[in-house]
A = this chain, B = another copy of it.
Amino acid sequence: MNNSSSSPIWIWYPGDYEIWLGNQMNNRRTERGAFFPHFWKMDSHYVLVEFSKKIDLAVAEEIEIAVEGTFNIKLDGKLQFGMPKKFLLPAGKYNLSIKVWNQATPPTIFINGKTVKSDNSWKVTYEDKEWIDESGKASDTSATIYMDAGGWVDFDAADKLPSLYKLATEERKAVAVSYAQGGRLIDFGKETFGFLRFSALSGKGKINIYYGESKEEALDTEFCETLDQLIVDGNKVTDEALAITCFIEEIYTLANSKAFRYVYITKDDGVDFKELSMMYEFKPEVQRGSFKCNDEEVNQIWNVGAYTMQLTTRECFIDGIKRDRWIWSGDAYQSYLMNYYLSFDSQTVKNTTWALRGKDPVTSHTNTILDYTFFWFLGIYDYYMYTGDRHFISQVYPRMQTLMDYVLGRTNVNGMVEGQTGDWVFVDWADDFMDKHGELSFEQVLFAKSLETMALCADLVKNNTDKVKYAGLALALRDKLIPAFWNETRQALVHNRLNGIQQEQITRYANMFASFFNYLTPEQQQQIKVSVLLNDSVMKISTPYMRFYELEALCTLGEQKEVMKEMKAYWGGMIREGATSFWEKYNPTDKGTQHLAMYGRPYGKSLCHAWGASPIYLLGKYYLGIQPVKAGYSEFSITPTLGGLKWMEGTVPTPNGEIKLYMNENTIKVTATEGKGYLTFTSKSKPNASKGIIEKMDDNKYRLMIDEKEEVVVNYK
């Protein structure tokens, strides 16, 4: 919430700009020179929006008005002439409203006066229902739904038009150029993303550009996933994929950004250029989180993870930079969690949440995927816990209701969800058969957690009817989970039920989620650790996506040492294979170019995929051991675990501060500049602290309240 003394910002209908911006971003995907938009409904902004503000001025005040769209100004419902750039607001109390129409881009306004400024306290509606009857009397608008305006703090000047927003760019040079198969192969040294640029482009003829995340891909002109074609003709060049022709400047920069490390160029003899460089395109982020330890391999994993996140954090969080360049809910959910331990970029979490949800009516699951609908809900409550931003919950709550209505309208007689025709039951990319039919335990576990999330958010927006309703539905489903899926003989949740009958297959998914959601008894948790999580006969997970949760489940069961080994083997394995960013899928038993293939295509796999970066999250939450206990870290918990390391140090960002931690085998140092909470640790002998009183819990467990901003040092054994 801005107040009148702060800078004005551009404002819009909440979510509308984010959805529109998400469209721009999603639609930059190409495949071999073809535009490749997504296959679910693409929503857009309300084209007509009214902005309003109650004015109370002692003296008249001139305001500057900047608008994206055709607009009018009304004072207490009375229309004012034209579309002025400046307007004199009279003294007095009245309602100022500005109604804007824009088909192409979201209706937005920027108002700047001495005291009257556009900010999130303005009200917006897409339907004011304010009509005037025959006698001149205005209608009762008490049922009109007004929302608080949306707006970003960055759009704080009249000339920063939201519709012209662009990510930042910086020039990057190639690190090596070689000649192969009659063409030029350019290596940019590591996975990167941006716009190629040609200097001294001239002559007449065709240039073929083949992009590769690997050298093999760039050189494979027939199967590389992305390519471009330029037709140079004297002073003009045509980008054939985009059907755009322009004049050649000193440097010609392509209009669409691409993901690559290598670029392979072939060309007609009549055409030439001097140098190929690129404009690296990125979201400027401050890396507020950090991690360092005695094991250099772990440090490298963290750094490659952070770079993977940097590349995939754009207008929204996307899955991968070569493919799909789309916002996927399950992928985004992990990006949110990693982000809380890296950049704490709340804006991008909100953008992604809006863009994923789109508008009503709901006509399919999020991204068409049943499980992705549930991850969308889960991400919202997490956001509240990490940021404490209750206002966002109230803005997005109406769309949580309608999405949950969609889910509830498709449950079966048992009140459970099943995939219906047109639904994608994803779960994970698996190397062996996985049944997607009937009631999947995994989907029910996520469904239950989503219902609990609805109840929590209903409470936050003070909707008690909804709270009672959703809490009741959650409880009813929770009560069915164990009877339906727990197999006592096999000491695990089975994968699915068909016609009410438990099926043979056991997979890791439901078991690990049920574990860290605390849907199992402590005994069951210990049972599944042996029967599923550490049992090699249960189908292995080969995506970093589900490894994320698998290792999280093990961490919650205190298996940090085991997880550290796994992390080094799996993520370290990718790095040993030459990864400069983490992959969509990694099977350690694959060899050579097998690592590049997926979806039946030799280079189908994305070599920079956000879900590959989970060590960022695991190291922050389960080794540094820092997480919020109350919303926005007003209360936190710190339970550091070396997990086999000799020492570690790191920083975890909080909304307006940070928590720093250093730990070795006999010292823990903590500095928390915001909030308070317990540091919990184990010590064989009685520990001591530089400040505060250490309390002994059971056995070797101790805790110390951290509630001041200075460093606290604990000696333990």
Contacts and interface: CB of A to CB of B under 8 A. Distances in A.
Interface in A64-87: 70-73, 79-85
A37 B48 contact: yes
Nearest to A601: B136
Nearest to A240: B82
A23 B37 contact: no
A229 B243 CA distance: 42
Contact of A42 (B33, B48, B85): B48
Contacts of A85: 243
A503 interface: no
Contact of A32 (B33, B81, B126, B143): B81
A396 interface: no
A144 B368 CA distance: 11
B83 A35 contact: yes
B35 A70 contact: yes
Contacts of A599: 132-136
A140 B101 contact: no
Interface stretch (A183-191, A359-367, A606-614, A683-691): A359-367
A364 B361 CA distance: 14
B83 A41 contact: no
Contact of A422 (B40, B129, B422, B429): B129
Copies in the complex: 2
Main secondary structure of the interface of A (DSSP, over half): loop
Nearest to A85: B243
A82 B243 contact: yes
A36 interface: yes
Given A36-B79, A243-B82, A368 B229 contact: no
B240 A127 contact: no
A625 to B, nearest CB: 35
A297 interface: no
Contacts of A144: 422
Given A35-B83, A79-B36, A422-B141, A44 B47 contact: yes
Interface in A385-430: 420-422, 424, 429
A46 B42 contact: yes
A156 to B, nearest CB: 24
Given A143-B421, A241-B81, A364 B41 contact: no
A136 B597 CA distance: 11
Interface in A497-526: none
A367 to B, nearest CB: 9
A129 B367 CA distance: 9
A510 B424 CA distance: 52
B32 A131 contact: no
A142 interface: yes
Contacts of A127: 39-41, 363-364
19 contacts: A20-B103, A23-B103, A32-B79, A34-B73, A35-B101, A36-B72, A39-B127, A39-B131, A40-B127, A41-B126, A42-B46, A83-B241, A103-B104, A103-B105, A127-B364, A132-B599, A134-B598, A135-B599, A142-B422
Given A27-B70, A44-B44, 16 more contacts: A34-B72, A39-B128, A40-B129, A41-B127, A42-B48, A44-B103, A81-B240, A103-B104, A129-B368, A129-B424, A134-B429, A135-B600, A136-B601, A141-B422, A143-B421, A361-B361
